[in-house]
Amino acid sequence: MLASYKHRMQKVSHKDRERHHHLTQCSVAMETSSTAKQSDQEVPKKERTDGEPGENREEEETMENGTAVVSDRKQMASEALDRLNVWEPSVYYTLGKESFSIAGYEICIRESLDSYGALIWPGAVALSQFLENNRQQVNLLDKAVLEIGAGTGLLSIVASLLGAWVTATDLPEILPNLTFNLSRNSKSRCRYTPQVRALTWGQDLERDFPCTSCHYDYVLAADVVYHHDYLEELLATMRHFCRPASGTTLLWANKVRFQSDLRFKESFEGCFNTTLLTELEEGDVRIYKATARE
């Protein structure tokens, strides 16, 4: 069983908030530093002469201009942060490692803030715990499993340890860390060696994953609906792998953070027969089971 699950979910949720706070602080600090340097260049100090006419007025104008520049820079920093939140932040620091225990094995995950895909999110922890504790309801033994947006690989590792033949997918830049985590945690432990493949949502799906040869019993997705601009492509990808009469079941773990999450869920339910499997208070995560509508 995943060790100290309730505590870990609280920790992951806390880290979720810390990441946004850290990005905000870094962005404002960088912009403020830039402002100070530019202010020194743009408003050079004037040699003072006692009693010089208009001196006080010039100093007031300088202070007002400096305040305006700082305000503008803070606004620019805020807008830059909004753009970062749309998809992928820059590298600020490495978070380190997270450890889990499942099926008698210790799982060690390396994560960083290189991108959203290099972090452990609450949905991945929740769905991993669900799969471990509900093996009769969701039996992965000898099943073909595809994970989209695999990120650090935690969920794919868990599925592999539970006996599944796993293909973990994500963007090309995520694959090195994903491959590292899968290799270190699955070697000599799993029934099948998990595979890693690049997948950009909505692009070249039939070419890279033809329906005639790529059939999966389960598709796993955890916290893939974040605040980004690729929700239509995500839905198209889900539909490609879960076609009507294919027998493929989609398991989706999601934590609602933005209005876009709710809009995506509406579109999702229009394409899939959806059942809520569980709702977890820790982390505020919901896990859905879905099959394609005819």
What does the DSSP 8-state code read for residue 16?
H
Q: What gap in Å lies between CA 266 and CA 74, rounded to an integer?
A: 36
Percent of the chain with pLDDT over 70: 63
Q: What is the pLDDT of residue 287?
A: 96
List of domains in the chain: 6-86 (no CATH), 96-292 (3.40.50.150)
- For the cut 50, the answer to whether the pLDDT of residue 260 exceeds it is yes
Q: What gap in Å lies between CA 186 and CA 195, rounded to an integer?
A: 11
Tens digits of residue pLDDT in 203-234: 999 999 999 999 999 999 999 987 668 899 99
- Give Cα 280 to chain centroid, integer Å: 19
Q: What is the pLDDT of residue 103?
A: 73
Tens digits of residue pLDDT in 20-39: 444 444 444 444 444 444 44
Q: What is the pLDDT of residue 98?
A: 75
Q: What is the mean pLDDT of the chain?
A: 76
Q: Which of 26-30, 177-181, 254-258 has the lowest mean pLDDT?
A: 26-30
Asked if 75 and 89 touch (Cβ cutoff 8 Å), the reply is no
* Closest C-alpha among 213, 1, 254, 263 to residue 107: 1
Tens digits of residue pLDDT in 68-86: 554 555 555 544 444 344 3
Q: What is the pLDDT of residue 94?
A: 41
What is the side-by-side order of every strand in the sheet holding 144-148?
195-198, 165-170, 144-148, 218-222, 249-254, 285-292, 272-280
How sure is the predictor about 117, in pLDDT bands with cuts at 50, 70 and 90? low
